[in-house]
Amino acid sequence: MMLPFPPTFGKRMEIWTTLRALSEAGHDVTLVSFHDPGQKDNDKDALTEVCRDVSLVPLELSRPSSLRDCFDRLAALLTPHAHQAFRYRCAALTKCVERHLKTDHYDAVICGEVFMLQNMPADICVPLILKKDHIAATILRRYVASERNLVKKLYAWIEYAKTSRWETSVCRRATAIMACSNHERDELQNVFPGIPVTMAPNVVDLEAYQNDEEEDPKTILYHGLMDWFPNQDAVAYFISEILPHLRRLVPDVRVVVAGRTSSQKFPQRFAQVPGVEFTGTVPDMHTYIRQCAVCIVPLRIASGTRFKILEAAALSRPTVSTRIGAEGLDFSDHSEIILADAPEEFARGVAELLENPLRRRAMGIAARKRVATDYSFPELCRALEETLALVVPAGAMANLSTSGGPEQ
């Protein structure tokens, strides 16, 4: 939803690979995006390599748990609208899209986020494709299931109910929907039987993932945006529930948590835990993945598919994940990934890999082969072309080489 460059985390990576895939297929692409005032002008310049035009609409979101964020949540609670829908509603973005549609010819509009779909013009006259990288209501439902604080649980249940209704309603505007996994494609097809639902996987460009560094055999890595609550929950769950079991098996294990955080409040909760390091923002996540022996994904709240697993696999690093964490990815348990939900089972999976270099090497190689087969750049290119062929009239497909659609 924000400017997708640099592609340093999942959402940006998903939009960036989509833009590249469309451009490399010969389509002219116009990008309409929210713009955080903190993002640099040269970030926009990099997008001109794949986009004919880039239009930015300023949007400064409140920091999680800030006073403004609490006020926004309260304001949304008093309306029929879900908080996230309330948060991303933007008349200026709607006007920007309308201006493009009136001044140029477009054969399709691809909306890269369900919360942006509400900002599409009501009278849009070209096919509207929703590229859906997760199901928002699923994340809230899983949060409700895991939350122990009764007040937070009640609030989350209200948001879940509102989001579920809103998401179902707004998705009906789409001409077609692209899901990021077969699992979510089937779920969405059941909900929207009259709308074509295709599968366009999240992918990584294997050419950009070359492993030329030696691992630290005692280091495990969790990487992701640490401003996002599901990532915080995963790390807290690992440190409090899994790490004590792991230390009994591998006493000198080192845990690295890499990724941006806007506040030190969360890392400070674990300041007294030995052998745990929070890096904050890093210039190149690939370096941290290469240096670790095992990547961990102890997620309990998620939807869609995880780029962190694809990145680890692309760099031939094995992953131990919960089943929710690996949901939607067709990795084979015990040969391409280790799946474990119980804390003791998860700890054993990590310990087995740390103590067996040959096995983790073999699993890392097998995981990279899985990415090459199912989650590489050509797979996304093929899926996008198949979806466009479904909704754009056959005679207009030739025009797509000289016209494009706004991307969010």
- 352 burial class (0-12, 13-18, 19+ CB within 10 angstroms)? middle
Asked if residue 39 has pLDDT above 70, the reply is no
- For residues 105 and 353, the model is more confident at 353
Q: What percent of the chain has pLDDT over 70?
A: 94
pLDDT of residue 401: 40
pLDDT of residue 86: 85
Under 8 Å between Cβ of 281 and 259: yes
Asked if residue 406 has pLDDT above 80, the reply is no
What per-residue string of b and e applies to 146-158 under the rule 16 or more CB within 10 Å gives b? ebeeeeeeebbeb
What number of residues does the chain have? Answer: 408
Cα 208 off chain centre by: 19
Give the SS3 label for residue 375.
coil
Each residue's pLDDT tens digit, 110-158: 999 898 999 999 989 899 999 999 999 999 999 999 999 999 999 999 9
Residue 196 sits at the vertex; the CA angle it makes with 193 and 201, to the nearest 5 degrees, is 120
Element housing 115 (H / E): helix 114-117
Give 407's pLDDT tier (boundaries 50, 70, 90): very low
Minimum mean pLDDT among 1-5, 61-65, 211-215, 362-366: which range?
Answer: 61-65
Element housing 236 (H / E): helix 229-237
Under 8 Å between Cβ of 360 and 352: no
Each residue's pLDDT tens digit, 340-353: 999 999 999 999 99
Give 402's pLDDT tier (boundaries 50, 70, 90): very low
Under 8 Å between Cβ of 353 and 363: yes
Under 8 Å between Cβ of 16 and 408: no
Mean pLDDT, to the nearest integer, of 3-30? 90
Give 245's pLDDT tier (boundaries 50, 70, 90): very high
Asked if residue 31 has pLDDT above 90, the reply is yes
Both tokens assigned to 386: 């198949």
Instruction: Identify the CA nearest to 30 among candidates 95, 127, 110.
Output: 110
d(C-alpha 37, C-alpha 180), whole Å: 30
pLDDT of residue 21: 94
Mean pLDDT, to the nearest integer, of 36-61? 79
Under 8 Å between Cβ of 187 and 259: no
pLDDT of residue 403: 38
Write out the DSSP string of 237-266: HIIIIIHHHHHHHSTT-EEEEES--S-SHH
Asked if residue 378 has pLDDT above 80, the reply is yes
pLDDT of residue 399: 47
Minimum mean pLDDT among 45-59, 70-84, 87-101, 222-236: which range?
Answer: 70-84
Give the largest Cα separation in the chain, rounded: 66
Domains assigned to the chain: 10-203+377-407 (3.40.50.2000), 206-374 (3.40.50.2000)
